[in-house]
Amino acid sequence: MEPIRLKQKDIKPLREKMLKDQNYICPLCNRTINIDRCALDHAHCRQGGDGCVRMVLCFFCNTLLSKIENNYKRNLVPYDILNTFLVNTFPYLDKKYTNLIHPTESKSKKKKLGKRKFNKVIKHWKKIHPKAKKPIYPKSGNMTKQWEIWIKETEDLK
């Protein structure tokens, strides 16, 4: 069957017809599709496709599908490996985590000194040290030992 080139004005009526034929259900997630929040899934010519339309997808599934398709092609992943990956993804996501924490997730990240806390400490500081030069907000925004002490003093007064 010879492909038919659509015009831009054909998109909306085609999408509405296809969506009706699909009972307004996304074929990937089985959720109801809002007619204003959907996309005509098609094989992009820039990525080696022929431009032919497949179905109407919800925006979420269209975006996720395009990421999967683009990356497996870009990384030259054979289709059988992609298929195995997709079949195994859902059971993998259900697996329990170990008790080992990855080094990039360390809790030793520096605490930030929020402006609200800073202002509370300064207000307290002015009462206790009316003639002393007030501390300045650290350029890094990071919490220091001294700031932790001053914050604790301020909270102890409450």
Q: What is the phi/psi pair of residue 32, to 5°? A: -65, 135
Rounded Cα–Cα distance for residues 37 and 1 (Å): 30
DSSP 132: S
pLDDT average, residue stretch 106-127: 78
Rounded Cα–Cα distance for residues 123 and 77 (Å): 61
Rounded Cα–Cα distance for residues 86 and 92 (Å): 10
Confidence class of residue 136 from pLDDT cuts 50, 70 and 90?
Answer: confident
DSSP 113: -
Structure tokens at 113: 């000194």
Domain over 8-93 is classified CATH 3.40.1800.10: yes
H or E, element range at 25: none
Query: Can you tell me whether residue 79 is helix, strand or coil?
Result: helix
Rounded Cα–Cα distance for residues 31 and 26 (Å): 6
pLDDT at 106: 64
Residue ranges, CATH 3.40.1800.10, the chain: 8-93
For the ranges 18-27, 67-76, 103-112, 116-125, which has the lowest average pLDDT? 103-112
**DSSP state string for 94-109:** TSPP-SPPPGGG-TTS
Average pLDDT of the chain, as a whole number: 84
% the chain with pLDDT above 70? 92
Per-residue pLDDT of 41-88, as tens digits, reads: 887 655 556 778 889 999 999 999 888 887 887 888 888 898 898 999
pLDDT at 109: 60
List of residues 6+ apart from 116 with CB closer than 8 A: none
pTM for this prediction: 0.56
